[in-house]
Amino acid sequence: MRKVYMDYAAGMPLDPRVFKAMKPYFTENYGNPSSAHSFGANAKNALMKSRERVACLVGAEKPEEVIFTSGGTESNNLAIKGVAYRNKEKGNHIITTTIEHMSVINICKHLQKQGFEISYLPVGKEGMVDPERVKDEIHDKTVMISVLYANGEIGTIQSIEEIGRIAHESQVYFHVDAVAAAGKIPINVDGEHIDLLSVSSNDMYGPKGVGALYIRKGTRIQPVIQGGGQERGVRSGTENIPGIVGMGRAAEIAKEEMAAEGKRLSQLRDKLIMGVLETIERSYLNGHPTQVSSGSACTSKTLEPSHVLLAIGLAHEEAHGSLVFTMGKQNSEEDVDYVLETLPGVVKRLRAISPLTPKEMLR
Amino acid sequence: MYSKKVMDHFMNPRNMGEIPDADGVGTVGNPVCGDLMSVYIKVKDNRLEDVKFKTFGCGAAIATSSMITELAKGKTIEDALEITRKDVADSLDGLPPVKMHCSNLAADALHAAIEDYRKKKEAEK
């Protein structure tokens, strides 16, 4: 049986060029960037270069505005808790949406228990947040708006620039979870008025266990992890140099190849969507047909239906009957053809087994 | 990951379908939870002459449904009531821990079908 991997949103292979860049930092250049000797200087230099590369990917003006973390989840924790705690005297209200990544949702729930007020804005059928709703929700106690750039399950890309402008005009911090978007679509933190932006390395063919948070200069934030004062005191702990070097290289490659790879994947995606809709009776697309990583989802980790699919108005059985396909670098047109050949039979079989299938569909 | 037996029952489910004139039907689970299964039984001389199922759910839900039909078929009502969730999971060489609760409903569905059969018989008297 042929094996086809179409779960890139969950995990993806390391780019061999990234692996190559990382290798010397495990065994040869093992210095600590905080050390004053040449080993330390070597590591510090590598750290600086990676910072520049990540800054360049997200359009940050100054590399110092990029802080390395252990991944997207930590970046979200630092951004939301760090700003909420530091600006307590200013207000306790945070605006977010119902289709955020679980890390954002659970951080907000945690803050709620501590007396913060959280607004979870609903989304439309295609998963879009209405910027006007965001504007209406702002009041004098609002300190932050947190919205995800692109949703990894339904592919919807939010009107970030518009929401950013609203946040900017209201002088409210704007955090964007860009884990699913970074490296796939162009991001410009300045043009989009973003104050904090979470990115993850393993969502752009880099190593797992590394991420970054862009923090606009002047943002009032307090650390979540205290210690030796690394990363300008915002994120202590000896820097994961091999991982950071990998993320830097991954960011560099992503920036170079984004346009061409995006075009290639869009074609494969459209072929897959059209093929499924044509060959499978009563199939439909969750989310937005014209955007990045379309598909839909089933969360097999928890058995719970996807909160994102419920948020866009699907019934529980529809959410459970959904399937997500996320493609990436190693997928070819042959993979799509194979899925299109095989999937109708699989769906037919499962429908025959299901007691929910209407009788007239089982001729 | 699923055991070989789970995969076999998932890919080649036994006794799949409905029994139009079933003597008892048991439906458990719900679409909210993601697993819904119906077990149909035909009873003759206090024995389960035929057992069939229909399931909406994951591979484990389908495999456990398929397995319960094999375990129950030919058994007396009393013996069939003795079949537990653990028996089903053991017969499949185990289930992933996350699937033990939600997707292992087949024994419950069988018991519900027997309950339904008994109620119907009671009503006939």
What residues does each domain of chain A span? 16-252, 258-354
Tens of pLDDT, residue by residue over A109-130, are 999 999 999 999 999 988 999 9
Residue A356 pLDDT: 86
Give the torsion through C-alpha atoms of A105, A107, A108, A114, to 10 deg: 150
**A303, A315, A354: residue with CB nearest B56:** A354
Q: Say what the pLDDT of residue A24 is.
A: 97
pLDDT the model gives residue B29: 87
- Does B98 sit within 8 Å of A355, measured CB to CB? no
The two tokens of residue A331 are 């997928």
Give the pLDDT band of residue A298 (cuts 50, 70, 90): very low
pLDDT at A288: 59
The whole-angstrom separation of Cα A227 and Cα A225 is: 7
Do B27 and A300 count as a contact with CB atoms less than 8 A apart?
no
Tell me what pLDDT residue B100 has.
77
Percent of chain A with pLDDT over 90: 78
Per-residue pLDDT at A303: 59
Q: Is residue A358 pLDDT above 90, yes or no? A: no
What pLDDT is attached to residue A320? 82
From the list A334, A363, A326, A337, the residue with the least C-alpha distance to A348 is A363
Instruction: Tell whether the model's pLDDT for residue A227 goes beyond 70.
Output: yes
**CB atoms A315 and B31 under 8 Å:** yes
Contact list, A302 vs chain B (CB under 8 Å) = 98
What is the dihedral angle through the alpha carbons of B54, B56, B60, B61, rounded to the nearest 10 degrees? -60
CATH of region A258-354: 3.90.1150.10
Cβ-Cβ contacts under 8 Å, A320 against chain B:
31, 34, 56-57
Q: What is the C-alpha to C-alpha distance for residues A159 and A192, in angstroms, rounded to an integer?
A: 9
Q: Find the mean pLDDT for residues B81-94.
A: 94
Tokens of A205: 């063919």
> Residue B62: closest CA among chain A residues belongs to which residue?
A353
Planar angle of CA A80, A86, A88, nearest 5 degrees: 95
- Quickly state the pLDDT bin for B102 (edges 50, 70, 90): low
| Residue A297 confidence class, pLDDT cut points 50, 70, 90 | very low
Could you tell me which chain B residue has the CA closest to the CA of A300? B58
CB contact under 8 A, A305 and B38: no
Give this complex's ipTM.
Answer: 0.83
Number of other CB atoms surrounding residue B45 within 10 Å: 6
Q: Compare all CA atoms of chain B with the CA of A317 and give the residue at the minimum distance.
A: B31
Q: pTM of the prediction?
A: 0.88
* Section B71-82 average pLDDT: 96
Task: Break chain B into its structural domains and give their ranges.
Answer: 4-124
More confident residue, B1 or A67: A67
Segment A12-20 mean pLDDT: 97
pLDDT for A292 beyond 70: no
Asked whether the beta carbons of B29 and B36 are under 8 A apart, the reply is: yes
User: Per CATH, which fold does A16-252 belong to?
Assistant: Aspartate Aminotransferase; domain 2 (3.40.640)
More confidently predicted of A216 and B59: A216
B104 touches chain A (CB under 8 A): no
- Average pLDDT for chain B: 92
Structural tokens at position A128: 């879009």
Question: Do B98 and A303 lie within an 8 Å CB cutoff?
Answer: yes
Size of interface A-B (CB pairs under 8 A): 46
B102 at interface of A, judged by CB pairs closer than 8 A: yes
CA nearest to B17, candidates B2, B34, B39, B33? B39
Confidence (pLDDT) at A306: 82
Q: What is the predicted pLDDT for the residue at A202?
A: 95
Chain B: residue whose CA lies nearest to A320: B34
Q: Which CATH architecture has domain B4-124?
A: Alpha-Beta Complex (3.90)
Residue B113's contacts (CB-CB under 8 Å, 6 or more residues apart) are B22, B24, B25, B26, B39, B40, B41
Q: Which of B33, B62, B103 sits opposite A353 (nearest CB)?
A: B62
For residue A362, list chain B residues with Cβ-Cβ distance below 8 A.
none
Burial class (CB in 10 A: 0-12, 13-18, 19+), B81: middle
What is the radius of gyration, based on Cα positions, of chain B? 14
- pLDDT average, residue stretch A284-312: 61
Contact residues on chain A for B54, CB-CB shorter than 8 A: 353-355
Rounded mean pLDDT, B22-47:
91
Residues B77-90: what's their mean pLDDT? 94
Which of A142-156, A284-298, B95-109 has the lowest average pLDDT? A284-298
Question: Residue range A54-71: average pLDDT?
Answer: 97
CB A99 within 8 A of CB A151: yes
Q: What is the pLDDT of residue A305?
A: 75
For the annotated catalytic residues of B, the residue numbers are 33, 102
